[in-house]
Amino acid sequence: MPFLSKMASNLTTLGSIPTLTLLYKLKKLVPASTLHKGATSDYNDILSLIRTDITKLQVDAIVNAANESLLGGGGVDGAIHRAAGPRLLKECRTLDGCDTGDAKITDAYNLPCKKVIHTPGPIYGSTKAKGNHETLLRSCYRRCLDLAKENGCKSLAFSCLSTGVYGYPSDEAAETAIDEVKIWLDGNKGVMERVIFCAFLEKDEDAYKEYLPTYFPPAQAAREHVKEATTEGEKEDGRIHDLPDVPAKEPLQEGQPKAKRVKTEYERFRKDAE
């Protein structure tokens, strides 16, 4: 019992994971000077950033940065397997591995979450040479969100995929992850209650701190951005378009007799008044 109490005290509950809204209020996240074209604050109460041990998160599902065998490895993958216990490895042996860019889901066993979603991210050097590194990384995030939705998981915590031994630069990986998650959320309104970017290394946390504000600014900045974008959309060659003049008369084809003029309600009113 003392061991269980100690373990419970080390857990991070969903309610204690700060949202972007809170991070802005606490000045832990700094608004960006330049925003992404589709920047919005709509998801600031859904998205979170935290630097901690992902195996301590008490959420519906966590994402394991797995390898294609799904049989455990180093880094986050090894930590998740150790914390989950041998039954996770036993279940993973039944899955016949997983392709890079795809994902598979298992129970969480001794972990405080309910499910583990395993996804092998791309090895940066070899996939960049083929030009499919970003496509594969995007697919990882999308497939994990799809599996969370299919299995009724409302809160999902992502580890930083491919930024460890697979060599994906943290800044590139963070922006790709943020953009793909935004695209998914745009197409799946109201499905997720929380999506968490969980970093373990400082370099990964710093990358998310840089790019999250460009996609998800504070509410006021987002409103100003939308207003500015709307105004820019109305401009051409530095001039705001006016609405076209209302036609004074009906257009006629050549040779057509003039149409009989219909008096307006205002003209009839004036005549009656006289």
Q: What mean pLDDT is reported for the chain? A: 85
Task: Give the tens place of pLDDT for each residue, 199-213.
Answer: 999 999 999 999 999
Separate counts of helices (H) and strands (E) for the chain: 10, 10
Task: Give the tens place of pLDDT for each residue, 44-53.
Answer: 999 999 999 9
User: Would you state the pLDDT for residue 225?
Assistant: 59
What integer is the mean pLDDT of 48-73?
97
User: Would you state the pLDDT for residue 183?
Assistant: 98
Interatomic CA distance for residues 248 and 267, integer angstroms: 15
Reported pTM? 0.80
Strands 115-120 and 104-107: antiparallel
The CATH code of domain 18-28+39-227 reads 3.40.220.10
Task: Give the tens place of pLDDT for each residue, 222-249.
Answer: 666 556 654 455 454 444 333 333 334 4
Residue 143, CA atoms < 13 Å, CB-side half-sphere: 22
* Residue 262: pLDDT over 60: no
User: Would you state the pLDDT for residue 265?
Assistant: 40
CB 113 within 8 A of CB 58: yes
* Residue 93: pLDDT over 50: yes
Domain-by-domain residue ranges, the chain? Answer: 18-28+39-227
Listed residue (118, 157, 147, 114) closest to 16, CA to CA? 157
